Every structure is written in structure tokens, then in C-alpha cells.
Structure 1
């Protein structure tokens, strides 16, 4: 048991060192300019340690961002009062904004959007039955909403204009409910649908 725990600790330490080193390199270089050799040298680990954990640098970044994106959607989906949810989301976005800015600057944002789309699909998989859509409609509606929602969050996080988080939240609810109605669902804008809804039902 002790040997297993020690091996797991070494694995965790290697992942931490590699992740830290990669973000240090990304402070001055594009992701595509960084090599595994350069990374392991900065991290102070062997190439074998890298390949025991990842196949590519993309895999390392996906492993880093995946729990954060899951956390975002867990916050969105959690049945809590709207004011509590908005406070939690505000804290999350304050932390995530800098990460998205760096990802955009260093051209690995596609990894973040990939995880975002996967989580949108995960969420809507549990919700599309309410819309009474065909399999094809559900697939394309999820894709449409995922790209649209990501684009709105992205624009707001990178620009940080005068719009508040609540205004962005309500705008997403408007778009989402309108498209659901356009597809002929029984859902109305009064009761809301999905992760972005204006009305709070948590206390009902």
C-alpha cells in the first residue's frame, strides 16, 4: 500500500511540475513553439515522466482545464438561489478571465472551447427530452447553443465592457428560451430552460 501511495505521489508531483513549467514557458512563447524536451528540462523531470502522464502538450492542458470547466458547469447546474449562483460564477470568472486571455494570446483557446462544448453536450443530454426534439434537432440545437453561449462568454470575459454578469446571464436566458420555442418546444420564456434562466425555482 505504501509503495502504491508513493508511486501516486510521484505521479502527482510530476504532473504539478510539468503544468507549472508549461505555464512559465507560455508566459513568453506560443504553445506550438514549446517542445517536450524544453518542458521537461524546465520542470526538472524526465521525458519518461512526461510520457507516463501525457502524449502531447495539448493533453497536459486538457488535463489542467478539464476539472475547471467541469466546476463551471457544476456551478451553473447546481439548484441554488440565483443570487448565490451569481456570486459563485463571478468568483469563477474573475479567476478564469486571465486564463482565457493567455489561451487566446498563445493560441490554445481551442482546447478550452473543446471542453466547454463537451460540458454543454453533457448538460443538454439531460435536458433535451423537455424540448421533444428529434435526435437530429437535439444534436444541432446543442451545437448551436454551445457555440453561441461560448461566443458570448468569450466576448464578455475578454472585453469586460459595461455589461454586468447578471445582464449577460439574462441575455443568454433570452436567446436560449427563444430558440427552444422556435423549435416548437413546450418551454416558455416565463419558466425558463437550461443552465441560464431568469426565474429562480430553487425555493419552490
Structure 2
């Protein structure tokens, strides 16, 4: 049992070292310019440690961002109070804005967008009384719209209060849903 716990600690350390090293390299290079050899050298781990944990560099990024995005969406899905939700979202966006800027500069934003889409799709699953085809397209529409709004807001310096943005998204969500139900 102790060996298993020890192996798990070593695996976690390797993952942490690889994640930290990858983000250090991303400060200077785009994702496609980084090679596994360069990453493992920077992280101080073996290639075997890398391939034991990941299939590619994208997996490190997904593993890093997935719980952060899921945690934010959990606040929305589990309908915490508006005050708590907005405070948690503000904290998330304050921390995430710099990472999003880097992702746009270093060509890995698509990974964050994919994770965002997964979370939004989960949120909108069976959310309305729409027929399945309208539901699917409405979910895609809202997912891309919300991502686009948040992206623009973060990249432009978060000038507007988050509460205003939240109200805007809610209005767009409610009016488009209502329009689809009326047709």
C-alpha cells in the first residue's frame, strides 16, 4: 500500500513539474514550437514520466484548466446565490485573464474554448422545453456567444462591472430561448 501511495506522489510531482515547465516555456514560445524533449529537460523528469501521464502537450493544458473551469461552472449549475456566484466569477476572471491572453498569443486558446464548451453544453443539456434540434443549436449559439462575450471582456481589460455582463448574458439567454419557444 505504501508503494502505491509513494508512486502516486511521484506521479503528482511529475505532473506538477511538467505543468510548471510548460507554462514557463509558453511565456516565450507558442505551443506548437515546444518539443517534449525541451519540456522534460526543463521539468527535470524523464520522457517516460511524460508519456506515463500524457499523450501530448495539450493534455497538460487540459488537465490544468479543466478543474478551474468546472469549479466556476459548478457555481452556476448548482445555483449558488448571485452574490457568491459573482464574487467567485470575479476571482476566477481576475486570475484567468492573464492566462487567456497568453493562450491567445501562444496558440492554445482552442483547448480552453473546448473545455468551456464542454461545461456550457453540460449546463444547457435539457435546460429548456425546446425540441432536441432547437436545443442543440441554441446550446451551440449560447456557448459561443457567452465565450465570446467573456473573452472580449477579459482581453479588453474587464472595464465593465461583471454584474452588468452577467445581466447581459442572462437577457440574451432568456430572450433567445423565449423566441425559439414562440416559433
TM-score (norm 1): 0.86
Q: Unaligned regions of 5+ residues in structure 2, if any? A: none
Residue 54 (structure 1) aligns with? 54
Match of 1:183, SS state, is helix
CA shift digits 1:63-110 (9 cap, x unpaired) = 111111101101222333212221111111111111101101111000
Match of 2:117, SS state, is helix
Residue 150 (structure 1) aligns with? 147
Gap change, CA 1:162 and 1:106, over 3 Å in 2: same
Give me the whole-angstrom Cα distance separating, in 1, the residues matched to 2:179 and 2:78. 27
Q: What is the CA-CA distance between 1:42 and the residue it aligns to?
A: 0.4
User: Which protein has the bigger helix share?
Assistant: 2
Match of 1:184, SS state, is helix
The two structures, once aligned, show a CA RMSD in angstroms of 1.1
Give me the whole-angstrom Cα distance separating, in 2, the residues matched to 1:181 and 1:8. 50
40-49 vs 77-86, which deviates more? 77-86
Give me the whole-angstrom Cα distance separating, in 2, the residues matched to 1:82 and 1:132. 24
Q: What is the CA-CA distance between 1:143 and the residue it aligns to?
A: 0.5
Q: Unaligned regions of 5+ residues in structure 1, if any? A: 186-204
Residue 138 (structure 1) aligns with? 135
Alignment partner of 1:174 is 2:171: yes
Q: What is the CA-CA distance between 1:160 and the residue it aligns to?
A: 2.1
How many residue pairs align between the two structures? 182
